[in-house]
Amino acid sequence: MAAFRSLGRDIGLAGLERAKARQIMDTTFWSHAMQSLRCTVWIIAGAAVFSAAAWAQSGGVTKRTQARSMTITRFGIVATSQTLASRAGAQVLELGGNAVDAAIAANAVLGVVEPTSNGMGGDLFAIVYEAKTGKLYGLNASGWAPAKMTLEFVRGQGHQTMPHDGILSVTVPGCVAGWDALHAKFGTLGFETLLKPAIYYAEEGFPVTELISAGWKNAEKLTSLNAAFKQTYFPGGHAPNVGDIFRNPDVGRSLRRVAEHGRDGFYKGPIAEAIVKLSGSRGPGAVRRRMGPTDHHQLPRVDRHRAPTERTGDCRADDAQSDGAVSFGRIRTEQHPGAARDDRG
């Protein structure tokens, strides 16, 4: 989940600054990224530790309650669970995009660099506060169950409860439809720009970070993985180690289709046909109507919520099915900051 605070609309970026930011993006980012991927540099950080300790002793550092660092720029702040995703969001802000543009870009990168938790095959939920109007919006872009998923079908496969993994646990992916709904309501930059960083990392590769590598290795214990999953995510027969360069050209091609054709690039054509084929061969089948919903009630909707008041302690949530428990967790964390920690950097 990425948290964003956009300053782009409020600080009134001059046209020259935006043009300069775009020029920097186009001429230096990809070359620098390629160089960083080709050369892994390990730094002994004794001096950095010393300077940080001195800074802390001087009272310059407040006590941390979590380990997710912010990426701070003149144009806004981005915080995600992976630095490359935060970087992508910050670059979109530098190009003149707003917080929603940055959120889409960062979320797309997370689906590439942190496949253990994110991806186009999942769902999407969002809360958007529009500062200039004071309005609060929520989005539930969770996917529908496959058209033929019934209790009888599940029980006929030998299950008395819903399985937690395998094809029977998969719903129609809602993530791309969520990107589309947010972009239609708030977006300012095109998908070809927003998805460019994710496409780059998918095709050219990225170094796997330590905690994501650890979570990745947990998947090696699963017994329900099919051959295609293992071929994609276990190159060499195992999960990537820390620092290994991982590439996912198939995801890169899928992202390119979305960049070129929007939501139809995912819910129609070869991607949709592949999902339907796999679901039909191993599960209940996701018929074409569900892969490309057209009925109004099937489309994810950005709904207006009651805006927060000045009263201390307000807690706002979207319509996600599990959000009640999440909201209570947030309240508990606010009351007891040490009760919950996220140690991802």
Largest CA distance in the chain: 66
Output the six-digit token pair for 263: 């939501």
Residue tagged 């964003």 (tokens): 4
pLDDT higher than 60, residue 185: yes
Q: What is the pLDDT of residues 79-98, one digit of tens each?
A: 999 999 999 999 999 999 99
Give me the mean pLDDT over the 48-72 stretch: 51
DSSP state of 9: T
pLDDT higher than 50, residue 7: no
In 115-267, DSSP assigns E strands to 124-130, 135-141, 206-207, 245-246
Output the six-digit token pair for 168: 């029977």
- Residues 111 and 122: their CA atoms lie apart, in Å, by 9
pLDDT higher than 80, residue 168: yes
Q: 55-69, 161-175, 204-218, 256-270: lowest mean pLDDT where?
A: 55-69
Q: What is the pLDDT of residues 203-257, one digit of tens each?
A: 999 999 999 999 999 988 887 788 888 999 999 999 999 999 999 999 999 999 9
pLDDT higher than 60, residue 157: yes
Give me the mean pLDDT over the 120-137 stretch: 92
Q: 48-52, 171-175, 307-311, 321-325: lowest mean pLDDT where?
A: 48-52
DSSP state of 239: P
Burial class of residue 301, CB neighbours in 10 A (0-12, 13-18, 19+): middle
pLDDT higher than 70, residue 148: yes
- For residues 181 and 139, the answer to whether their CB atoms sit within 8 Å is yes
Helix axes 30-38, 196-204, angle to 10 degrees: 30
Q: 29-33, 191-195, 262-266, 272-276: lowest mean pLDDT where?
A: 29-33
- pLDDT at site 294: 39
Mean pLDDT over the full length of the chain = 75
- pLDDT at site 71: 85
Quote the distance between the C-alpha of residue 243 and its chain's center. 21
- Residues 54 and 317: their CA atoms lie apart, in Å, by 40
- pLDDT at site 170: 86
Which is nearest to 314 in space by CA: 136, 184, 123, 144?
136
pLDDT higher than 60, residue 132: yes
Per the model's pLDDT, the better-predicted residue between 68 and 120 turns out to be 120
Give me the mean pLDDT over the 66-74 stretch: 75
Burial class of residue 269, CB neighbours in 10 A (0-12, 13-18, 19+): middle
Q: Which of 147-151, 187-191, 297-301 has the highest mean pLDDT?
A: 187-191
